Amino acid sequence: MRNPVLAGLLLLLLGGAALADPRLDQLGKTAARVRGLSYRPISSQVVSQKEAADYVLRLLDAELEPRRTRTREEFLRSAGLMAQGDSLRGILKKLYASQVRGLYDPGKKRYIVVRGAESQPAEAAVAALGLNATDLFAVHELGHAIQDQHFDLGGVDKKVRENFDRAVAAQTLIEGDANVVMMDYAMAQLGLDSSALDLSGSGMGIDFEPFMEYDPNLASAPPFFRDYLTFPYSQGMSFVAALRGQGGWKKVDGAFRSLPASTEEVLHPDKYLKKNDPPKPVKLTLAKQIGKYQALGEDTAGEFTISAWEKQFIPERTYRGSSGWGGDRYRVYVSGDHAFVVWSTLWDTPRDASEFEGMATAILKQLKTSKPQKQGHRLFFSRGSRVTILARKAARVDLVLDLPATMAGQVTPVLP
């Protein structure tokens, strides 16, 4: 079942409305009561829209460490999730800075409020329910302040920043926690019991498409980045609701101390709760230097990224190619402006690996060539002077994306 009201609320958060002082402390205390934790008043700063955009860009630039950023960019480009001419900074700048209304900055322990921000259509929809959109946004952001005071959001970031999959999982916990606090507050304002709202299920069936017209920057973003931006809000509520259902807010507190190990665990909360399916370590078999190409960096894509990959290229989800994810690791090799990617994946069963292989084959036919060449258990997809290799053995699938064709003889023998 689709949930347009929740989708509207979450899109409101993406652009937000913001609240200046005097009611900030009152709402902070209210949010803390909902969350079952204490709250220490925080400072606030009122800025113009341009000052807010500049502020967000400074935070973004501090986050986008060059080596890690290029590693992720080259992977996303090779997988067709980002255009060759795009950059992470450019895409995220457009998404984050153009319509920022307010935010909590963990570094300065400060609530940033935008002066004279225009109202959004989503705010009218929320008002029609008898709710104050500005208060809702403030409760959400103050929820982050409460998290920071008790669980140190800066420390959380340091633990996960080098692993994309773990970082998305942690962000999903963070946004899910603040969203559930906001929803509990909203239900109380309507005189309803929050237990009447079912927050379980994968993403709660939220469909953001009808609301894209309210945010043209979100609507025009590459599909992967739309998913990346909205996933923590929608799936986070499902994850936190599942934890709270097993042990109240104390169980959620525990998740901040023992962070989810992967997006698989936030997509399937039972895996987090039972701790019975941790990510498998993946050994990359290629040397860190091959010819003139040098390893730049490594990262993990994870179930979220693989699911988004399938969603973008195979919307009907024929293969369910992210199901049974066991672990993955990719390494980016660079020589000047040129790059290729080695990506190794492990699956729970050979059948799961076969489903991912089928999905990847269908996607690579769209991206590289419609007529791959088969050599033993390997498929070769050629495009210009580059070749992409796909190989499956039992429950492992290896891909080499955009390898210079002249290097295939060096790389192929080293693949499993």
Mean pLDDT, 10 residues at a time, over the chain (416 residues)? 42 53 87 97 88 87 95 99 95 79 87 73 74 86 96 96 98 95 92 71 53 71 92 93 94 98 97 95 96 98 97 85 94 98 98 96 92 94 95 98 96 91
Q: How many residues does the chain have?
A: 416
Q: What is the pLDDT of residue 119?
A: 62
Contacts of 185 (CB under 8 A, 6+ apart): 30, 31, 34, 135, 136, 139
Q: What are phi and psi of 110, to 5 degrees?
A: -135, 145
Reported as a single tens digit per residue, the pLDDT across 337-388 is 999 999 999 999 999 999 999 999 999 999 988 789 999 999 999 999 999 9
State the Cα–Cα distance between residues 146 and 281, nearest whole angstrom: 34
Q: What is the pLDDT of residue 8?
A: 43
Give 289-414's CATH code, choosing from 3.40.50.1000, 3.10.20.90, 3.40.1000.70, 3.90.1280.10: 3.40.1000.70
- Name the residue type at position 182: M
State the Cα–Cα distance between residues 294 and 63, nearest whole angstrom: 24
The residue assigned the tokens 């999959």 is 165
State the Cα–Cα distance between residues 361 and 171, nearest whole angstrom: 31
Name the residue among 60, 80, 95, 92 with its Cα closest to residue 212.
95
Copy the structure tokens of residue 267.
Answer: 């997509």
Q: What is the pLDDT of residue 330?
A: 99
Output the CA–CA distances (angstroms, integers) from residue 224 to 79, 83, 95, 162, 310, in the order listed.
Answer: 11, 11, 13, 20, 10
Output the CA–CA distances (angstroms, integers) from residue 328 to 14, 85, 167, 343, 346, in the order listed.
Answer: 30, 26, 15, 7, 6
Residues of the chain with CATH 3.40.1000.70: 289-414
Report DSSP state, residue 199: -
